[in-house]
């Protein structure tokens, strides 16, 4: 937090990720589960998971009926989560319950990998990379302090309820807020740019327009990016942004909110991909936006 003038700006990135929760343990020690957040069930088949067990982390594998035994139309049918289970190597329920209880949560167990061209691949880039971007923006602001007060927060529950965003916005009572998240890149073979926009890794941050985005905040972000020659693209959000902004903008007497996103390929999978150049550009854009603000009156449309 940086204390400056009476005008308060909140920078937010959520740190929760999609996961799973154990719902049942059968007599043979297999675990059944429900999703936390929005999974494409096909992604889960055959994955390793890391569960928060009673004595620490427990590794398991997600099992499914083998392809050799699937016949007829079932071979082409989409997998349902009800037909999957987790195998932790237990031989019975009692043995499994010594390590895992109903209600234990978990995530996919995959490492981070560095890729060429300044890219990384990992789970949970949605949205740890957004929280990292917020911290980078705050680091820049510490070096060149703004005339306003700034708080950076790492929210939770964005994937299921937006509860953390509500608490943060209510507690800090900001006049303006920038939510930093990821958004789906459309630079892959199956994209539809006419509907979803032209969003590319390495193309700079993505600015949302519509729904929860305050028009004057959006205009200031665009002006700042153009003035500093920061590359960016625009993505429309006619109904909702799918981010913490959907909860923040109407807290208390309203918050002038903008969304700055990092392009992300393969969202909600164990192999999300981002480019660090987009993070660097986003952090600089946010810091310069904050430094440009002098008064709350700048976000009042008259």
Residue 292's CB is within 10 A of a number of other CB atoms, namely 16
Residues 201/273, Cβ–Cβ less than 8 Å = yes
The tens digit of pLDDT for each residue in 126-150 reads 999 999 999 999 999 999 999 999 9
| pLDDT of 234 | 97
pLDDT above 80 for 302: no
Range 250-256, long-range pairs (CB < 8 A, 24+ positions) = 251/166, 251/169, 251/170, 252/169, 252/170, 252/173, 255/10, 255/169, 255/174, 255/175, 255/176, 255/177, 256/175, 256/176, 256/177, 256/214, 256/216, 256/217, 256/299
- Tell me the pTM: 0.93
d(CA 270, CA 26): 27
d(CA 188, CA 180): 23
Pick from 178, 191, 183: nearest CA to 274: 183
pLDDT above 90 for 222: yes
Q: Which residues are catalytic?
A: 158
Six-digit token pair at 252?
């208390």
Q: Which domains does the chain have, with CATH numbers?
A: 8-17+124-299 (3.40.630.10), 19-108 (2.40.30.40)
The tens digit of pLDDT for each residue in 5-26 reads 899 999 999 999 999 999 999 9
Residues 217/225, Cβ–Cβ less than 8 Å = no
Residue for token pair 């620490």? 56
Cross-strand pairs, 237: none
Mean pLDDT of 209-236: 96
Q: What share of the chain is helix, strand, coil (3-state, %, to 5)?
A: 30, 30, 40
Six-digit token pair at 225?
């990016």
| Structure confidence at residue 286 as a pLDDT band (50, 70, 90) | very high
Residues 182/124, Cβ–Cβ less than 8 Å = no
pLDDT above 80 for 70: no
Pick from 88, 84, 87: nearest CA to 45: 84
Residue for token pair 């985005």? 213
Mean pLDDT of all residues in the chain?
A: 94
d(CA 234, CA 208): 6
The H or E element that residue 166 is part of is helix 163-172
Mean pLDDT of 112-122: 97
| pLDDT of 72 | 77
């Amino acid at each position: 937090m940086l204390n400056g003038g009476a005008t308060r700006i909140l920078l937010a990135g959520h740190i929760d990720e999609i996961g799973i929760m154990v719902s049942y343990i059968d007599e043979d020690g297999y675990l059944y589960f429900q999703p936390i957040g929005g999974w494409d069930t096909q992604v889960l088949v055959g994955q390793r998971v890391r569960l928060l067990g009673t004595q620490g982390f427990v590794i398991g594998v997600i099992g499914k009926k083998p392809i050799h035994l699937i016949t007829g139309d079932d071979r082409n049918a989409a997998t349902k989560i009800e037909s999957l289970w987790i195998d932790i190597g237990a031989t019975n329920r009692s043995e499994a319950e010594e390590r895992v209880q109903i209600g234990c949560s978990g995530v996919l167990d995959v490492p981070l990998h560095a890729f060429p061209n300044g890219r990384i691949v990992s789970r949970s880039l949605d949205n740890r990379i957004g929280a990292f971007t917020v911290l980078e923006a705050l680091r820049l602001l510490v070096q060149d302090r703004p005339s306003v007060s700034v708080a950076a927060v790492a929210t939770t529950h964005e994937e299921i309820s937006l509860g953390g965003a509500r608490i943060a916005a209510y507690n800090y009572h900001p006049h303006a807020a920038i939510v930093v998240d990821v958004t789906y890149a459309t630079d892959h073979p199956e994209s539809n740019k006419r509907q979803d926009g032209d969003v590319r890794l390495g193309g700079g941050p993505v600015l949302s327009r519509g729904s929860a985005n305050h028009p004057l905040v959006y205009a200031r972000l665009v002006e700042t990016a153009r003035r500093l020659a920061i590359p960016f693209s625009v993505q429309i959000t006619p109904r909702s942004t799918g981010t913490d902004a959907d909860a923040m903008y109407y807290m208390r007497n309203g918050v002038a909110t903008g969304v700055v996103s990092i392009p992300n390929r393969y969202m909600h999978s164990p192999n999300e991909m981002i480019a660090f150049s987009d993070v660097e550009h986003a952090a600089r854009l946010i810091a310069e936006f904050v430094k440009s603000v002098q008064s709350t009156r700048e976000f009042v449309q008259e």
